[in-house]
Structure 1
Amino acid sequence: MQPTYMDDAGWDKLISEVAQSFDDLTLKRGFQYYKQKRLHAFKMMTDREIMCIVEGREDYVTAVKLDHLPESRCGCPVSGMCKHMAAVLMQYAEDQERPVHSIANAKALVDRPKIPAKAPAVPGRRGEQLKKLAALIPGATVQQWREYMALILEPLIHTVRNPQYADRGLAAITGAAPKLSPAAGKLFKLHAHLCVLESLIKPGGQPLAAGLSTLSYSVGYYTSIAVSDLQKQILQMMKQSLPLAEAPEEWPRVYDTIAYLRGEMLAEVRDRSREQPYLANCYSLLWNHWITPNLSGPELYAKELVELKQAGEALSTSASRHALLLAESRMHVFLHEDAAAMEKLRTAAEHPGLHPQEVMDFLSPLAGARQWERLTDWLAVTGPLLSSRLYNLQDYAEYWDDAIHYLPEAEPRMWETLSGMLPLSREIYEEQLLAYGKWQEWMDIQLSSGHRPADFRVSDLQPVEKNAPELLLPFYHQAVERFVLEKNRHSYKAAVKLLKRLAKLYKKTKREARWNEFLDGFLDRHSRLRALQEELRKGKLIP
């Protein structure tokens, strides 16, 4: 269903209830699960109830009631409010475009007055120095900008690295800057965010953690929240276009930004973590959203390939080699050299450290450019590379839908690719079978997998019942016999419930005679099961 956005009063009430219902340690653990992207099949059942599968030692079905949190439930062993519920609430906050750290820090936020971010005081000669530097910003280089920003942040060096620190740092940098053109202003704002991010993860000039993916364990809980918030702000900012057509004089700063992110991307540590290497993502966004829309020829892509090759000669770690291969592959895509791009991407995927979203990032520019044949080729190549079972393939399936809508002959390639990705693709494969009306194939999977009707909601089976009701007959028959074999009162009740649904299906398909024949045989086979006979009478299936 379409999300209904919570108003400010409802949001404040939710924060208060979170603070009352959860202890701080549970919220911290929930934040780790949220950051590690352990939530799958997140769905609003109603405006006030959420269902989600949260990956822990097992996959736990978690239901959260926003109106009354203590009534929420989870399949995990914990009695009461658990980290899985907290993670679901944080995902809800993200979907509502509310600050996730408000949930994570609920206990600290309740009853605490909101203090607006203020720029730190700038006393004495340092203040005069900053005023002079600020006046030079319109004509300064990116490197000079960054030196100015570092000076602005100096008074905050010994303060706690938390979301308030980040807010104060950004307010200090942007508040002191003079008015800039739209393009320069966006570039300045990007580097301001990146500078504050660096001060969080490299307070002494060296990273505190192996990489952004492990920040929450190495630099502290509140610093991790601050980093997460900055990441989202930067990503949203870079998804908006950069108006270089009206300001061609900003290209030197764009080149400096490319060089900066290239270096940071290649130095970024990669591991088997659940999170996408962040600076590599910034590099991708820079090209996709800020540079490519402003180019009319291939020269800059070719030049970047040369720069990457030169930078690659100095690399010493295999992790950096991943980033290099991905960046080179992206430039080959921009140059329409798909064979070379695919080869480099496959090579990068041979070793741990490649995040599934980095693979998916190759699809967006092709879909945006409506290059459906190329998109189909890339979907067939990238599907098998999405090797993480934690990755949600919904976006991948939607790209297939777009391609097939404009290129119907590509549908067989989708089925071939999705079937080749099993068992990883099972959930999305089954959803696509239903969406494309492949009722028989969908039912064959359920029967061969031993699934029962009880594994599905009635609404899940409605499309099959409406379009191919006869296919449900063996499904229900199989489940009835299994329930009877369990030989207990509860299973007999479940069997009778299914038998009544069978009766309706036989009537709907105008096979009442076959239903009567089956029921007579069923009663004869199980005539000695008195408890079953009693349940059949209660269900009015026999007199």
Structure 2
Amino acid sequence: MLQRELTREQVKQLGEQILVNMEEHIVEQGYQYFTDGMVFNVQAEDGAHLRSDVQGSAVYHVEIDLNAFANSTCTCSYARYCKHIAATFFQAYSVFENPRAFMNVLHKPRSTVFSPAMLVPAYKKIVKSGANPTPSASLGASLRPESKVSDWWSFLEKWTRNLPLAMETARPSSELFSSYENVLGVTSSWPEELAQLFSVHANLFHLLKLQTFVKDVRSSYWASDLTQTADRLVEQLEAALFYLDAGSLRKHFSSHLEETHEKSKEWKHCDSATIYWIQANRLLWWYLLNTPAWIQEEMDELDRLIKNPVLTDAERERFSILQAHFLVMKGEDEAALRIWNGSQSLALSFYLPYMKAFARHEEWERFLYWVDRLETLIGTADGPEYRLVAAVWREAMERLGRSADSGAMLKRFLPASLTDYCAYLFENRQYKQYLDVLMTYQSALEQMNQQQAKIIEDQKPLLLLPLLIREINQQIGSRNRSGYREAAKLLKKVRASYQKADQLDVWERFIQGLATKYSRLRAFQEELKRGNLIS
């Protein structure tokens, strides 16, 4: 049935979205669910939606939007794209291709193909319509659509009164997210825009709760887990703000928006130096509070605070980082980047919301300007962040008619661009530079596939020698029989290279020198003789 309802191209494009937006270990879990036969009731609707039920700890309902992957949903509690979505994808993929082939692609270094969908904040809508009410749900009876924003925060304080203790006695991230997700059900009957604004406030409230917990508990045991939780909250916040209809909110609920603005004046003074709160604050201004009069007022206030002589260095840096955001909003990118580049705590992820926004609005020159200024961060970014920026960068170069320069410019993004840059060098037959890069970045010989090695051996046989010899020395250095055997195999390739270059006399001197150097390694000498490398 799916073969008639979907096309191979649709499933292929869905796979690209999976590679861009989903964490590798989540995709692997989804593959396991698929192979275990946990996916059923799969159906496609109008070639635009893919639906299924997936058996986990409960039966979860998945809906994948094939035209806008960001709108895909699952009824499980995982805040981002989940294993149930991945499992459903594999069920559809298996109709056209072997899912194992997709897993091979997942595990290989790869260049990401540009898609406009990657510019949309990664987000999985939280589906709560069918959820059972929690024991605390009666607390929400006091809230009404006409309730003030101050009432929301008073309610959230009551809602979370037992949360700190629960976070200490159980897994903090699970307890925090459960609290955040469940409280959204309080607004299920509210107008959509108002419910979305409440979700923004609930997110900010729980982010502050998380930071208070970290400060009070001071335990390194949960450090990694809580860092990921803060990342997820910020991702959720960006997505919620991105999808919020700010125009409709201003029209129908202006008083709530004005109260949010007043509340934001307190937030810059929060006793929180973490980058997560700074990111949350700037996202609020970028998407929601971007009224010229409010922006100018905030800039003037930040300028006054920065000039306060009694500020600590940490406070002054925090206010400066916030002020730079408004410079970007005014188009003064150079001034903003000069401030941010002075901070050692800002990673590439801090800049990505801006760069994606520029690309969404097709401000390609502006995007490339930021790439130039951030090339060091791009070169040291982790895999997913680098692949995202590189994909958009290639699209920008193409849009501006500069694609011919893209390959050579990849050198600027080393070491993150190692795979892309090596592919460019090989395709352009710059074999020496290709091998030099592999040697410089300590890449194993196995990173070069057999076909590439054969091409270089045939055309430039001696170019491979430095890489082969380094690998041989590493194998000998292992001081075990299997390493010696592998070294002997590689030495045969060295001999063949010298033979093709008509330099067997050089080979004889090399092998005799190597045998003499390691004359005390009896097992290695035996492997040399067994391979007819020495007599």
The one-letter amino acid of 1:267's match is: C
SS in 1 for 2:134: coil
CA distance in 2, matches of 1:258, 1:503: 74
Distance 1:346 1:435, change over 3 A: same
Please report how far the alpha carbon of residue 287 of structure 1 lies from its aligned counterpart in structure 2 after TM superposition: 4.1
Match of 2:136 among 120, 130, 134: 120
Match of 1:475 among 466, 475, 482: 466
- Is 1:512 equivalent to 2:500 in the alignment? yes
> Structure 1: any 5+ residue segments left out of the alignment?
16-43, 53-94, 100-114, 202-206, 271-275, 420-424
Please report how far the alpha carbon of residue 434 of structure 1 lies from its aligned counterpart in structure 2 after TM superposition: 0.9
Contact 2:394–2:406 at 8 Å: present in 1 too?
no
Contact 2:193–2:245 at 8 Å: present in 1 too?
yes
TM-score (norm 2): 0.59
Match of 1:401 among 382, 394, 397: 394
SS in 1 for 2:311: coil
Contact 1:261–1:282 at 8 Å: present in 2 too?
no
The one-letter amino acid of 2:260's match is: T
RMSD: 5.2
CA distance in 1, matches of 2:422, 2:469: 21
Contact 1:503–1:515 at 8 Å: present in 2 too?
no
Corresponding residue for 1:368?
360
Contact 1:267–1:320 at 8 Å: present in 2 too?
no
The one-letter amino acid of 2:151's match is: Q
Distance 1:533 1:51, change over 3 A: same
CA distance in 2, matches of 1:387, 1:269: 30
- Is 1:343 equivalent to 2:334 in the alignment? no
The one-letter amino acid of 2:193's match is: A
- Is 1:435 equivalent to 2:426 in the alignment? no
Corresponding residue for 1:58?
none
Please report how far the alpha carbon of residue 209 of structure 1 lies from its aligned counterpart in structure 2 after TM superposition: 4.4
Match of 2:302 among 304, 308, 314: 308
Match of 1:279 among 269, 277, 280: 277
CA distance in 2, matches of 1:388, 1:442: 20
CA distance in 1, matches of 2:37, 2:339: 49
Corresponding residue for 1:7?
33
CA distance in 2, matches of 1:333, 1:393: 22
Written as runs of structure 1 = structure 2, the 5 A alignment for 1:74-473 is 118-120=134-136, 131=141, 133-134=142-143, 137-154=144-161, 162=172, 165-166=175-176, 169-170=179-180, 173-177=183-187, 179-199=189-209, 201=211, 207-210=212-215, 216-217=219-220, 224=226, 228=230, 231=233, 234-235=236-237, 237-238=239-240, 240-247=242-249, 248-261=251-264, 263-270=266-273, 277-290=275-288, 301-310=295-304, 312=306, 316-347=311-342, 349=343, 352-384=344-376, 393-407=386-400, 409=402, 419=412, 426-437=414-425, 439-447=431-439, 451=442, 455-459=444-448, 463=452, 466=455, 470=460, 472-473=463-464
Distance 1:519 1:387, change over 3 A: closer
CA distance in 2, matches of 1:139, 1:96: 28
CA distance in 1, matches of 2:123, 2:400: 35
CA deviations over 1:34-87 (Å, ceiling 9, x no partner): xxxxxxxxxx999599989xxxxxxxxxxxxxxxxxxxxxxxxxxxxxxxxxxx
Please report how far the alpha carbon of residue 188 of structure 1 lies from its aligned counterpart in structure 2 after TM superposition: 1.0
CA distance in 2, matches of 1:175, 1:181: 13
Contact 1:433–1:441 at 8 Å: present in 2 too?
no
Distance 1:476 1:158, change over 3 A: closer
Distance 1:505 1:117, change over 3 A: farther
Please report how far the alpha carbon of residue 536 of structure 1 lies from its aligned counterpart in structure 2 after TM superposition: 4.1
Which is bigger in relative contact order (C-alpha 8 A, separation at least 6)? 2
CA distance in 1, matches of 2:223, 2:439: 46
SS in 2 for 1:245: helix
SS in 2 for 1:336: coil
